[in-house]
Structure 1
């Protein structure tokens, strides 16, 4: 790491294909929007020699040129990969969006990585969403480190930020979150601000000075030694407490001096095991500088302290039929198992799949088997096909640099996989396998869309299918009750990006319209009706008369039909026709156009004609009879009610419960969860929670999550129902 006092000048710009998993490191950057992740990626690329000046690649384009939407919105909206090299190690740096709406891209990055680098701003602190991701990583034992950015901001305080990280990330063991370096500030300017010009290595007790644009080493000033000593002792004690050598603590407490190489070795092992989380500081390089502050130390931590793919446990693998297979290892010569972690489209190349190879070796132009779990509820079909892949490449800005192969542990872009979607497994065609999927967040924000023009309508289906194939966090629904086309998203920003991609990438313009919930109608009281359908217009006429009564039934009973005709007033062959007409009219509704449910129809009497009666005539008479009953009785509108489970931090429970009550929700109970969280259960009308994913995020400062499921239909309050019925009668 930095205390190894490496003076490596940087590596060549082009990242060649790795030949063994031990030469790979896969690191995902996590942090809130604006914390400086993308800037840090560019600084690492510059320090490693992958680019010649900050953020610029050889063709003059930007290293972060991935998506035109990102440029317009000035924020990352998708997962991106930047491969760099350092001391013979290929580092696949995965940059993730920091905005909560794109958590699907973040989950994909976590799946593809072997370690996580949490980027926190010294000016802004740690947000709730970042804390949740830290907990996810902790649950699976993923190695983590923390890098503090924006040290030169007006409110920046490195020591305070370390304290915050220890409190938020340390949990029961805050000593597991300790800085490896202290920032070294220069002379105070006229504005009272002292810029950070270097770092003090606590183990080596050396200063790494970046003020000249490159890293230079020197001894610290004598006046700084007491502060260094205090922080250094705390670091050494933290390392020793996590050491696998149980005698090391005894020797240290006995006054024995610990050798620096031993401490570094124990530190690297503790970081790789996910039990020790070093804190570093970093800043982008100044104009014309070769090294940004802390970038070399970060590269040394990644290559020396983060694990290689050999140490990453591979997710469970089965056959496509679900038969278990022995656990795989990260072996380039093993069975081929790779997973599509991201799907995107290029206007010239077509579909491009970012793939993590877990076992075996992937080569260009070979035929692979594509297996997919299928997410039918989100518009994704199940896959079980063979496909010939195209070229392999490593992305670098908008460039795609060819690769000769991708060994186990590596990431690569694969062209021409026309059927594979995000989450699908690639394996040998003669040995098809299926990898256990990662958890996809559930899209809970609905947006109803319509084609803007007839030309857009012709292209809409194809555009939506391509859009959903790229993003499994979206769900496409053709609602059979409201007849609306609904795109379910993770939030408003996610929705905006989806609609913009439809327009810019697939040439489809759509309009968003108010989302409708699936209401129902039901009888509030008994009523009788007569259906008379008699027409004569030359030739055979139409003759059918039926008399019915209706009565309401308990919720969930459906429609019952009772035949009480005596004396053959309605011939036996036409009684099913009456029922068919009643049910057809019920499906259309009788008051506001919503399905009529939960009632009993009793057929009492009627009349028929020996020549002019027919199946169609009695169907029409049955429908007319039901409509007459509806004109005489009160009709209730039923609204869908959702079973809601809200997971929220304890400090927001009161606000959440109050908010639910204000939405006509009925809280049924609470359940104490882990780590200061509470699960709130409630039943609430679905019409009240169409935007709840946005509103809960605001209410809980990004820490709240919820799940919903259909519970039942219940009568809508008369005041609300009256407005809907009035609008329906007026043609609204």
Structure 2
């Protein structure tokens, strides 16, 4: 990047390689002048549609004056009809000066912005919060930062009222009061001490114990809460393995700090595979998070693709006897069960049904039979994956007055289940993810072919969004494959677990 065209004023700013950050006004390059003229006209038309008077003027004369253009642009941005898009590079110090000028020139002040919607805690009624004429404090926490010296920093935006230093503020989201110490405003990494943060300002406070990103601050005598921030769902997952024992001891705390700062980062321990999984918005997001993990917390990890949490199920039904009998010369063990094993619909889990009548098995032994079957389901017969979506009905059996016990019936239930499963047509099933992908029209055919080759099932094609189901083994790292295998970067993917299907 070497220059930026301001479509509003049709001006071209050239940036030198010395990275001084100040654009030099030049003539618009001839090879893009026609394209710029067309884009300027489209922008003017969009601005004119903000106001009836402006659109009427535009339709009559085909253009707006500079004053009308500026007024319509400000009005459209203020009421949310227009969203300004500015380009630049912070790394190369290009366009930052134009960004600051645009903020001052076109964005509304806190007093003029659209009132923010909130709800009163006492009666759940919806209200609007503005910076004008309200002494009631309300603020939204939009970011937390782990500072190596100051500890946890909480950044918040005041929407009404004010917060003073060395006081208390009520966290409506957590239903607790937090003690406020010294307040700061940030300029880059510099913390400037202030006595209070007023409506419209962005403030910072250190070492709040329970506040996280998305929480609401309000006055304790008039509690309000803002709608929660909706974060994008993770689309990229990897398993982490600490390199050393020291890394293993530090990793839990370090990951907790990272997720406090970045709510789009998710960390979980897979209950089936036992792996520590970290999920984010893509390869770059993942790489940056690992760099921060190493640089700020001194934790190094090995990375690998997650194990796929396969499951086992059945397609058939059978009736089988499970009998456990052991004689040792003294008190023996005896448990006798008859069970029916049948499949359930996907997602129904496990159902145990007691059909015993006439006291064939005493009630005190029934829970032991169920527990034995549940333990047997933890390891299937195909590949030792957990079994799901199975119904077991206990309908008959027998017991011994002396030798029967809970342990005997637990073993009998387990033996019967393991004996009957081979006759129930066991199957291996895999988790399925929902994916939404946006691609250029000329790439649709290639992408569909690639997805079909990886056993993806196309749910439909929409001019706005394409949603398809992809098996989990093919979903991990899918974003990287799409960007590297095809010549486009304008794509979006959403992974949502959507049950399982047979392999």
Contact 1:532-1:545 within 8 A present in 2 as well: yes
Q: Deviations over 1:494-542 (max 9, x none)?
A: 2233333334434444443431333221235455655443445686443
Taking a change above 3 Å as real, the CA distance of residues 384 and 241 of structure 1, as seen in their structure-2 partners, is closer
Q: Match of 2:124?
A: 323
- Residue 488 of structure 2 corresponds to residue 701 of structure 1: yes
Q: Match of 1:362?
A: 163
| Structure 2 unaligned regions, length at least 5 | 17-21
Taking a change above 3 Å as real, the CA distance of residues 426 and 200 of structure 1, as seen in their structure-2 partners, is same
- Residue 60 of structure 2 corresponds to residue 269 of structure 1: no
Aligned-partner SS, 2:468 = strand
Equivalent-residue separation in structure 2 for 1:457 and 1:603 (angstroms): 46
- Residue 197 of structure 2 corresponds to residue 395 of structure 1: no
Equivalent-residue separation in structure 2 for 1:700 and 1:336 (angstroms): 50
Q: Deviations over 1:189-242 (max 9, x none)?
A: xxxxxxx9942699xxxxxxxxxxxxxxxxxxxxx9xx9xx98xx89x959984
Equivalent-residue separation in structure 2 for 1:360 and 1:348 (angstroms): 30
Contact 2:440-2:488 within 8 A present in 1 as well: no
Aligned-partner SS, 2:433 = strand
- Residue 239 of structure 2 corresponds to residue 448 of structure 1: yes
Q: By how many angstroms is 1:685 displaced?
A: 1.9
Q: Match of 2:412?
A: 621
Q: Match of 2:11?
A: 181
Counterparts of 1:45-194 in structure 2, within 5 Å, are: 121=1, 150-151=2-3, 177-182=7-12
Q: Match of 1:347?
A: 148
Counterparts of 1:514-663 in structure 2, within 5 Å, are: 514-525=305-316, 530-535=321-326, 540-548=331-339, 550-552=341-343, 555-556=346-347, 558-559=349-350, 561=352, 570-571=361-362, 573-601=364-392, 603=394, 606=397, 608-630=399-421, 634-663=425-454
Q: Deviations over 1:296-350 (max 9, x none)?
A: 7765554334332222213211134671243122237532121112110112211
Equivalent-residue separation in structure 2 for 1:426 and 1:572 (angstroms): 55
Equivalent-residue separation in structure 2 for 1:476 and 1:313 (angstroms): 36
Aligned-partner SS, 1:581 = helix
Contact 1:332-1:408 within 8 A present in 2 as well: no
Pick from 263, 284, 306: which aligns with 1:472? 263
Contact 1:178-1:278 within 8 A present in 2 as well: no
Taking a change above 3 Å as real, the CA distance of residues 405 and 584 of structure 1, as seen in their structure-2 partners, is same
Equivalent-residue separation in structure 1 for 2:442 and 2:230 (angstroms): 27
Q: By how many angstroms is 1:663 displaced?
A: 1.9
Taking a change above 3 Å as real, the CA distance of residues 693 and 360 of structure 1, as seen in their structure-2 partners, is farther
Equivalent-residue separation in structure 2 for 1:247 and 1:707 (angstroms): 39
Q: Match of 1:199?
A: 25
Q: By how many angstroms is 1:633 displaced?
A: 6.2
Counterparts of 1:480-495 in structure 2, within 5 Å, are: 480-495=271-286
Pick from 457, 475, 483: which aligns with 1:689? 475
| Structure 1 unaligned regions, length at least 5 | 1-120, 122-149, 152-157, 163-176, 187-195, 203-223, 287-291, 373-382, 717-732
Contact 1:591-1:630 within 8 A present in 2 as well: no
Aligned-partner SS, 2:144 = strand
Pick from 706, 710, 713: which aligns with 2:500? 713
Residues matched between the structures, number = 481
Q: By how many angstroms is 1:249 displaced?
A: 5.8
Equivalent-residue separation in structure 2 for 1:526 and 1:335 (angstroms): 65
Q: Match of 1:99?
A: none
Q: By how many angstroms is 1:664 displaced?
A: 0.8
Q: By how many angstroms is 1:616 displaced?
A: 1.3
Q: Match of 2:195?
A: 404
Equivalent-residue separation in structure 1 for 2:95 and 2:450 (angstroms): 45
Equivalent-residue separation in structure 2 for 1:473 and 1:353 (angstroms): 17
Aligned-partner SS, 1:512 = strand
Pick from 300, 303, 310: which aligns with 1:512? 303
Aligned-partner SS, 1:310 = coil
Q: Deviations over 1:110-137 (max 9, x none)?
A: xxxxxxxxxxx3xxxxxxxxxxxxxxxx
Q: By how many angstroms is 1:490 displaced?
A: 1.0
Contact 2:355-2:394 within 8 A present in 1 as well: yes
Aligned-partner SS, 1:316 = strand
Q: Match of 1:12?
A: none
- Residue 147 of structure 2 corresponds to residue 385 of structure 1: no
Equivalent-residue separation in structure 2 for 1:466 and 1:629 (angstroms): 49
Q: Deviations over 1:177-196 (max 9, x none)?
A: 4444345899xxxxxxxxx9
Q: By how many angstroms is 1:614 displaced?
A: 0.2
Counterparts of 1:168-247 in structure 2, within 5 Å, are: 177-182=7-12, 198-199=24-25, 238=44, 242=48
Q: By how many angstroms is 1:700 displaced?
A: 7.5
Normalising by structure 1, what TM-score? 0.56
Taking a change above 3 Å as real, the CA distance of residues 587 and 397 of structure 1, as seen in their structure-2 partners, is same
Taking a change above 3 Å as real, the CA distance of residues 327 and 201 of structure 1, as seen in their structure-2 partners, is farther
Q: By how many angstroms is 1:637 displaced?
A: 0.7
